[in-house]
Chain A
Amino acid sequence: MSILIDQSTRVITQGITGSAGSFHTDKSVEYSPHSYVGGVTPKRGGQTWTGKDSGKSLPVFNTVAEAVAKTGANASMIFVPAGGAGDAIMEAADAGIKVIVCITEGIPVLDMAKAKRFVQAKPGVRLVGPNCPGVITPGQCKIGIMPGYIHKPVEPGKTGVGVLSRSGTLTYEAVFQLTGMGYGQTTCVGIGGDPIIGTNQIDCLKLFQDDPATEAILMIGEIGGTAEEAAAEYVKQHVTKPVAAFIAGQTAPPGRRMGHAGAIISGGSGSAADKIKALEAAGIVVAKTPADLGAAVKEAIARKKK
């Protein structure tokens, strides 16, 4: 079991002929060849894309609607450049794609404000990101730029850890530690580092709580906004599984954007201290340093067993 994507997910890449789109489709195809069914680049319809390393060929379509009609795709991975990415999200939602994973960084906030409302108006459509590494259900389907090899699939009938994160490399760090300690991962969701994102912490917590294969949850956050505080409140009321967390940016100065567009302490809210306080008050084990992410999960599981 897993959340969002699995063995049966059928993926197209929007922006498949661009350099990043092509490179990462190739890597994703290598990881889960059965998942990928095509790509979209306007005016390149009818061509065939071939992965440099995977050697796999996929049909290219002009529009998402055509790709869906011809391939039955139900998920998409977006690499369209920032200026057109908001539109690409809406195109996917309109064409009936159910899981839209937007990797693109640097989308104007107002474009996302429109795209998010557009997606919300389509029942059953879920947007992940933007500005995120993507989603992976190890051993089943990889949609994104994360390194596949660090992940450990959950064996049939066994349980694993669900990971959700606002940061890319910190997620890899966490997964690397979990795998090293023998914990498989059900699904890892990079929710993205922008001020406006599709799927948030609470959405993921709910999905992981309902997923029988997920034994524990690791939530990686950072400064900016108050989503971690809201997530802590949600955990307190609705999550019975062990939860561990980490918050990056304890040393970040207020008013500065720390790399991610959403990582900024502003208006007296969004500090790491406030978030850690809220998480601990909800009974969540908070890792002290990025070297203790796996250990925090282990402790959260041990605490619940007591």
Chain B
Amino acid sequence: MKVHEYQAKELLAGYGAPIPKHIVCKTADEAAAAFDALSNGGGAVVKAQVHAGGRGAGQLLGYADKLGGVKFVTSKEKAKAVAEAMLSHKLRTLQTGPDGQKIQTLIVQADAEPDKEFYVSMVLDRTTGVPILMGSAAGGMDIEKVAHDTPEKIIKVQVQPETGLLPYQAQKMAFDLGFTNDQIGSVVKILMALSKVYFEKDASIVEVNPLAVTKKGDVVVLDAKIDFDDNAKFRHKDLEPLRDLAEENATEIRAAKADLNYIQLDGNIGCLVNGAGLAMATMDMVKFYGGNPANFLDVGGGVTAENAVEAFRIILSDDKVKAIFVNVFGGIASCARIADALVKAGREVGFKIPVVVRLEGNEVEKAREILGAVKAELPAIRVAPTLTEAAKMVVELAK
């Protein structure tokens, strides 16, 4: 689960990390009032709150001037105008996709213009299976690019899950990054907060970029990103209110309720598959034969008639879909049960577009008989003899 910048910063602040003051706003008038409260005779920053990164370099779609999701303003009027523009245009960044993301929340943040920018994060090192604290003096920019072009500029320290980050490790990181004696205390506070959020809240990443030394000499968390491990949400009821459903795909939320693993894509061939690996491989196969998958959908091992019906409804709710590819390998689950589910789905949902079915495995003969018997009633269902045939067929039918 992702959260907004302001939520991430407030969580870190709760563990003792210094952050610049901010006020969360839902309207332009609120932003104007927030400017008065925070500008202190100078300026303030208006920042769009969306889950995608790259906001500063983004662009408001359909807005005449160059304006992204982060803007320094020097007057109340400007604050209001910028907030109005942000709240009425979608923001496109490198991470939002071409259609952009609607902005529903802003923060107005007290001026904390950075003099120097650093990068720090807590993340899992998958190679070793051990969490690491990462730091770089090359902050403020795309850390993936830094890691790729100049890996020597990134410092990594293993953090044992039994102990969490130890104070001496935080201190060493702070010195290694080149902070001065009077800054060390604040940096250690930020690093310890990072580790506490990571371990106590089961985060999968806690990232501060930039960790800034401001022109006034303060050390603050200027921007932060946290992603939580969904597998651990059962022990963090306190985090539930932080979820912003408006940032998520409505169809994907609906699928999750039916225990379906669904991800919307932009092609026109709907896919219904059992198993995540096979579901990915099925999408790849559609592409390999010249088609375009409309979705990833794993119905899991225990497909029931009920969730198969819901799966078809979800696939068909995307009106780009021109054909459906059902690819099931019945391991222990019987293909006959899946065939029954298909028939039920056909009767309840109604198939107006071709449904190409490839079944293999347990009780496949019985399944073919079931589908053969409803040929006249459900002509949209076409049973393919092999996986390759099925892929070719569905690509052809979707054209």
Contacts and interface: CB of A to CB of B under 8 A. Distances in A.
A220 B280 CA distance: 12
Interface residues of B, number: 54
B391 A289 contact: yes
Contacts of A288: 288
A252 B161 contact: no
Given A113-B130, A252-B280, A259 B287 contact: no
Nearest to A105: B231
Interface in A79-127: 82-83, 106-114, 116-117
Nearest to B362: A147
A109 B329 contact: no
B126 A252 contact: no
A172 B19 CA distance: 52
A259 B202 contact: no
B278 A107 contact: no
B275 A168 contact: yes
Contact of B263 (A171, A196, A258): A258
A289 B281 CA distance: 7
B359 to A, nearest CB: 12
Interface stretch (B26-34, B238-246, B293-301): B293-301
Contacts of A261: 231
A169 B277 contact: yes
A124 to B, nearest CB: 19
B316 interface: no
A142 to B, nearest CB: 11
Nearest to A116: B129
A51 interface: no
A299 interface: no
Given A176-B361, A252-B283, A196 B129 contact: yes
B204 interface: yes
B261 interface: yes
A109 B202 contact: yes
Nearest to B147: A267
Contact of A222 (B235, B277, B386): B277
A196 B124 contact: yes
Contacts of B276: 167, 193, 258-260, 263
A255 B95 contact: yes
Interface stretch (A59-67, A153-161, A223-231, A278-286): A223-231
B274 interface: yes
Nearest to B388: A291
A26 B261 CA distance: 28
Contact of A220 (B277, B279, B386, B391): B277
B263 A256 contact: yes
Contacts of A108: 202, 229, 231-232, 235
A114 B280 contact: no
A248 B131 contact: no
Nearest to A24: B332
Contacts of B332: 24, 27, 145-147
Interface string B127-155: 10111000000000000100110000000
16 contacts: A27-B332, A82-B234, A108-B202, A110-B131, A110-B232, A145-B301, A147-B332, A150-B331, A169-B273, A226-B127, A227-B127, A252-B283, A258-B263, A259-B296, A290-B281, A291-B386
Given A110-B131, A248-B281, 5 more contacts: A168-B301, A173-B329, A173-B387, A259-B280, A290-B282
